[in-house]
């Protein structure tokens, strides 16, 4: 992908501080809101594509309604089985949040989210960081024979009950299952990115035991330290990431302390493999009609 250039009059280069050489940037001097000019929203989107995940400190003015309105500037908001409203509340005091494994948000669906906007509401004094990985860089790190193997492989992504996180929910929840290419072509950047994570139940045409080893092999590149960025949350922080080019994992190391973050996701596209084939939904989630966008009085 050619290097993206931003108009310094929109977001000055000096306000963009890279977190690591391969992934992550902290953006200064922007107050996020739904009323930002179109060119600022476009610049934020370009920064997400370039850095994969971007961070904003001191956004305590955002509430659920304004987070929802801001997220709408990037596309249609998505609803998923974990909740019935566009803002999903991940509160450690209310539910067991199973985000402490490497995953792509809702990759069990055919058109899983393209962008996520996560806001820190209540952050424990110690622990609770989130780690993201650049799956485009991880693909490029694969030796050429492994790249070719990955290009040809397809994986079954399933919820609930993917083998890395067996779940009692499998007895009560309808199954959502999709065959994805292990390598998708990013629709905006043209990069090849790995589509893996905790929803993977196996590889098409590969025995389960061998599939486990393959997944561990590929994910060892995804989770390599040089491909990752770790964010230490503060209350009022906002993270925005490209869910098509990253995997992430929340560290569950805060004991009995309470942690609350709230997320909005933007509907994505059906992935396309390197040979032009689309992901295939085996069993789809029927998405309810979204509630009207929140109004600011």
Active-site residues, by number, are 103, 105, 248, 263
CA angle 235, 237, 239 (to 5 degrees): 145
Q: Please give the full DSSP string across the chain, using - where no structure is assigned.
A: -PPP---TTTS-GGGEEESSSSS-EEE-S----TTS-HHHHHHHHHHHHHHSEEEE---TT--HHHHHHHHGGGS-B---TT-SSSSEEEETTTS----SS-B-TTTTSTT--SEEEEEEEE--SS---EEEEEHHHHHHHS-HHHHHHHHH-EEEEEES--TTS--GGGGTSPPEEEEEESEEE-TTT--EEE--STTEEEETTS-HHHHHHHHHHHHHHHT-GGGEEEE---TT-EEEEETTSEEEEE----TT---EEEEEEE--PPPBBTTSPBPEEEE---PPPPPPPP---
Q: How long a stretch of residues is the chain?
A: 297
Question: Closest by alpha carbon to 35, among 4, 62, 53, 13?
Answer: 62
């Amino acid at each position: 992908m050619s290097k993206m250039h931003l108009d310094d009059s929109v977001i000055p280069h000096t306000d963009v501080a890279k977190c690591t050489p391969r992934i992550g940037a902290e953006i200064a001097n922007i107050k996020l809101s739904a009323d930002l000019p179109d060119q600022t929203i476009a610049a934020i989107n370009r920064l997400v594509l370039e850095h994969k995940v971007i961070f904003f400190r001191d956004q305590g003015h955002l509430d659920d309604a304004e987070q929802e309105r801001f997220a709408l500037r990037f596309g249609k908001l998505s609803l998923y089985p974990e909740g019935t409203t566009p803002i999903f509340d991940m509160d450690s005091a209310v539910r067991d949040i199973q985000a402490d494994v490497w995953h792509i948000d809702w990759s069990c669906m055919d058109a899983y989210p393209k962008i996520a906007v996560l806001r820190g509401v209540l952050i424990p004094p110690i622990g609770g960081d989130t780690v993201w990985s650049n799956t485009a860089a991880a693909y490029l790190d694969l030796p050429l024979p492994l790249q070719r193997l990955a290009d040809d492989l397809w994986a079954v992504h399933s919820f609930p009950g993917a083998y890395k996180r067996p779940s009692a929910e499998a007895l009560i929840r309808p199954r959502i299952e999709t065959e994805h290419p292990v390598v998708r072509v990013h629709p905006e950047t043209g990069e090849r990115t790995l589509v893996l994570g905790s929803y993977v139940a196996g590889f098409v045409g590969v025995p389960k035991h061998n599939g486990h080893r393959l997944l561990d092999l590929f994910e060892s590149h995804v989770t390599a330290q040089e491909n990752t960025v770790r964010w230490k949350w503060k209350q009022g922080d906002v993270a925005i990431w490209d869910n098509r080019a990253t995997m992430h994992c929340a560290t569950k190391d805060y004991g009995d302390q309470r942690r609350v973050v709230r997320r909005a996701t933007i509907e994505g596209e059906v992935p396309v493999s390197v040979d032009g084939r689309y992901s295939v939904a085996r069993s789809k989630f029927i998405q309810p009609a979204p509630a009207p966008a929140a109004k600011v009085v």
